[in-house]
Structure 1
């Protein structure tokens, strides 16, 4: 989604990011408005304390503004913000002793519940299969489920997922491959699995 200033052409993330780095408060506000809800949903996948997640997101954006001069000009904005929220939540949860003490974000449990909508369901048999698919997605190991979410719901590349999860490319690719392999074993339908996993229906 592109946003635009009043009476101007649409601005993509990279343009807004550059303007933010130059001190443009409007660009900063537009990025906040664009990604706040996505970041809130992602943060709530790790913590049910919505107020704490909201504070975390606000802190991330406060840091973005405070340290705007040192930000990477070529950053992938969505991936950067998702990663920043994830890492900050991990530090907060370590501090609060909600999870075992660790300096790694591996301890975070991804609690997002996938629910594929029924736009593509044409009969009761297919509905049963989609419900089974939902169930199997939500039973996947936490890291595999998060990798699927980042790939097919947030649209991140494998390289970006690897950076966000702090693993190498092959490890991120393996997470996706194992998750999809497991789901394909459970899915027996003419509707392509990847179509059901696409952002438009998640």
Structure 2
């Protein structure tokens, strides 16, 4: 059986709980499953790629070292993404030790979003409209942009986004809603806006 098939055999929570019991193979599968996503998200929060990779690796090291203490009932992807965000926030705190303290809510999201042109038909006007949509999305406030990324690219629920951004549910919901309202004013294409966001490249 190919490695990719093995990795897709077990759901996250099964692998997580096996890992909590000391199963190194389950830990390895989770690492391979989410490493790239975590690095990509980390790169959206810090321009230092080497430090981001260190942060992601440190998150996995902590998960393994404290496996007996981590909660069993978690959404694994959300937990790992949140852990990376918190570790990068601490990185900012350390690097700005002689400046004003940097909290988790001060970490700014700066990843560029681009809708795949292959999803769009050959109509020139439609393609130009999509380029305009990309510009609108990339000019959204950083928090709105990050909320959309977490909601539609990473598939997180609003509750999980709220926890990650250290805000209440209503505030997280408002971030997503306001961003979508801004984009929907400009997008009247055949493909739904949600489809485009979920298929976008970050």
For the criterion TM > 0.5, the same-fold answer is yes
Deviations 1:60-81 (A, max 9, x none): 1111011111111011000000
Task: Please state if 1:189 is matched with 2:189.
Answer: yes
Structure-1 separation of matches of 2:97 and 2:153: 27
Task: Tell me the residue number matched to 1:179.
Answer: 179
Task: Tell me the residue number matched to 1:169.
Answer: 169
1:4 and 1:11 in contact (8 A); partners too = no
Structure-2 separation of matches of 1:98 and 1:191: 47
Corresponding residue SS for 2:185: helix
Task: Tell me the residue number matched to 2:137.
Answer: 137
Deviations 1:95-133 (A, max 9, x none): 101996335211111011001101232110010010000
1:114 and 1:137 in contact (8 A); partners too = yes
Corresponding residue SS for 2:145: helix
TM-score, length basis structure 2: 0.92
Structure-2 separation of matches of 1:100 and 1:127: 45
Cα gap change, 1:18 to 1:48, in 2 (>3 Å) = same
Task: Tell me the residue number matched to 2:13.
Answer: 14
Structure-1 separation of matches of 2:66 and 2:159: 25
2:19 and 2:26 in contact (8 A); partners too = yes
2:162 and 2:171 in contact (8 A); partners too = yes
- The Cα shift of 1:55 comes to 0.5
Corresponding residue SS for 1:48: coil
Number of residues of Structure 1 aligned to a counterpart in Structure 2: 198
Which runs of no fewer than 5 residues in structure 2 stay unpaired? none
Structure-2 separation of matches of 1:55 and 1:64: 14
TM-score, length basis structure 1: 0.92
Task: Tell me the residue number matched to 2:36.
Answer: 37
- The Cα shift of 1:193 comes to 1.0
Higher relative contact order (CA 8 A, sep 6+): 2
Task: Tell me the residue number matched to 1:126.
Answer: 126
Which runs of no fewer than 5 residues in structure 1 stay unpaired? none
2:93 and 2:103 in contact (8 A); partners too = no
Task: Please state if 1:150 is matched with 2:158.
Answer: no
1:43 and 1:86 in contact (8 A); partners too = yes
